[in-house]
Amino acid sequence: MSKKIAIIGAGTMGLTAAYYAAKAGHVVTVFEADTQPGGMAAHFDFEGLSLERFYHFVCKADLPLFSLLDDLGLASKMRWRPTKMGYFFEGKHYPWGDPLALLTFPHLDIISKIRYGLHAFLSTKRRDWSKLDGLRADEWIKFNIGERAFDVLWRKLFDLKFFEYAQDISAAWIWARIKRTGTSRKSIFQEELGYIDGGSQTLIDALVAETEKCGGVIKLGTPTTRIEIENNRVTGVVAGGQFYAADEVLSTIPVPYIPDIVPDLPVPILAKYRAQKNIGVVCVVHKLSCKVTDNFWLNINDPRIDVPGIIEFSNLRYMGKDNVVYIPYYMPQTHPKFNQTDAFFVEETLRYLNQINPDITSDKVFASKVGRLRYAQPVCGPRFLETLPPINPGIAGLQIADTSYYYPEDRGISEGARLAKKMAGMIGK
């Protein structure tokens, strides 16, 4: 039976839910506050280059994404490329990401190297994460690889990604990240990552087109300010100052917004939403006339540099003569740097690039762009799922989820596709 569906958020998760719901015969309207669809995967014009606001890559374990691409007729758009990882440690470059690089790394003793390699290998073979769910990630890693290896390889990443939350991260969440990238390999000596030809915009355009072909409507620049509830059932949404009736509502926006737009939820449920911790991101993108390194990602542990790594995206996605590097600052919204100007971040990151590669000077920079999100990364502590309300928070016709609900997986288009398809399948049930 066809239903009138309101979907809040036109990121890839919301658009995928809209696509599957419209395909099933429902009357779908998507409400998006931004003036373009795509969320974190949306593109911008970077001096003639169509580029994601925030970098995305594909791993071989991303099966839900492959299924979605098949459904949309985009399977042939997947591209795979051998990639490299490096480590910039205290002013010097080292190769990273394979057994030989580990063995030749001079800042660990042989026992630490064996423990680190064994831990990484076993993590890629583990399937059941339930025993990791209640453990702290830092303690789990220290137990397996030792204090010295943790200090050299992990501590700064934790501190510069999570700050005061560094000791409140789930081992299951970290394990899922290790496993996803660790299994995306051509061999034990060669990492292989993927991207969609044309970038994420190729997927976004197809989702929009197919949803509209099925009669769906996508309203951009139309922020949702309230989900209306009557007699314990949703009746619709208020968006752009107007009420839209709906039989069911699917929200895919960050859950910290939920208490303000659904204040009629039971008090214990609202308290769970309010308790969720979610940090922001400031992401600087530079277009350069030359490479910084030959690596896709470069991990960093250097006292002069306050980011844990950079992503040289043009070493994955072919961009002709353009060299593109992303430098993300993940930080709580309360961090003093979060509200610094764009010019501050551009200047600081160019100084970092020069410290990594002295050939990178201001005359090598064609363009720079700074993107910001207030809620970019959920803080997933031990037993994280127990802290979340259920996707249906007890109101008939209402489903609420965001990237928090991918746990133990991290944010990603593939996990969004998996959960969106599940939510669309629950309509009417």
As for how many domains the chain has, the answer is 3
Q: Six-digit token pair at 14?
A: 């919301």
Is residue 220 domain-shared with residue 306, that is, in the same domain?
no
CATH code where residue 24 lies: 3.50.50.60
Pairwise CA distance, residues 350 & 361, whole Å: 7
Asked whether residue 83 is assigned to any structural domain, the reply reads: no
Query: What pLDDT does residue 1 have?
Result: 83
Query: What pLDDT does residue 136 have?
Result: 98
Is residue 352 domain-shared with residue 409, that is, in the same domain?
no
Is residue 271 domain-shared with residue 390, that is, in the same domain?
yes
Query: What pLDDT does residue 142 have?
Result: 98
DSSP state at residue 184: -
Is residue 239 domain-shared with residue 222, that is, in the same domain?
yes
Asked whether residue 78 is assigned to any structural domain, the reply reads: no
Strands 297-301 and 242-245: unpaired
Asked whether residue 64 is assigned to any structural domain, the reply reads: no
Asked whether residue 213 is assigned to any structural domain, the reply reads: yes
Is residue 366 domain-shared with residue 281, that is, in the same domain?
yes
Strands 92-96 and 85-89: antiparallel
Is residue 254 domain-shared with residue 397, that is, in the same domain?
yes
Q: What is the pLDDT along the chain (429 residues), one digit of tens a residue?
A: 899 999 999 999 999 999 999 999 999 999 999 999 999 999 999 999 999 999 999 999 999 999 999 999 999 999 999 999 999 999 999 999 999 999 999 999 999 999 999 999 999 999 999 999 999 999 999 999 999 999 999 999 999 999 999 999 999 999 999 999 999 999 999 999 999 999 999 999 999 999 999 999 999 999 999 999 999 999 999 999 999 999 999 999 999 999 999 999 999 999 999 999 999 999 999 999 999 999 999 999 999 999 999 999 999 999 988 999 999 999 999 999 999 999 999 999 999 999 999 999 999 999 999 999 999 999 999 999 999 999 999 999 999 999 999 999 999 999 999 999 999 999 998
Domain boundary among 157, 186, 215: 186
Is residue 270 domain-shared with residue 390, that is, in the same domain?
yes
Asked whether residue 117 is assigned to any structural domain, the reply reads: yes
Asked whether residue 291 is assigned to any structural domain, the reply reads: yes
Strands 233-239 and 224-230: antiparallel
Report the candidate in 235, 239, 227, 237 with the shortest Cα–Cα distance to residue 264: 227
CATH code where residue 304 lies: 3.90.660.10
Asked whether residue 404 is assigned to any structural domain, the reply reads: yes
Find the helix or strand (DSSP H, E) in which 398 lies: strand 398-400
Query: What pLDDT does residue 429 have?
Result: 86
Is residue 367 domain-shared with residue 392, that is, in the same domain?
no
Is residue 281 domain-shared with residue 371, that is, in the same domain?
yes
Find the helix or strand (DSSP H, E) in which 177 lies: helix 171-182
Is residue 393 domain-shared with residue 256, that is, in the same domain?
yes
Expressed as residue numbers, the domain containing 120 is 95-186
Is residue 417 domain-shared with residue 285, that is, in the same domain?
no
Asked whether residue 63 is assigned to any structural domain, the reply reads: no
Is residue 271 domain-shared with residue 282, that is, in the same domain?
no
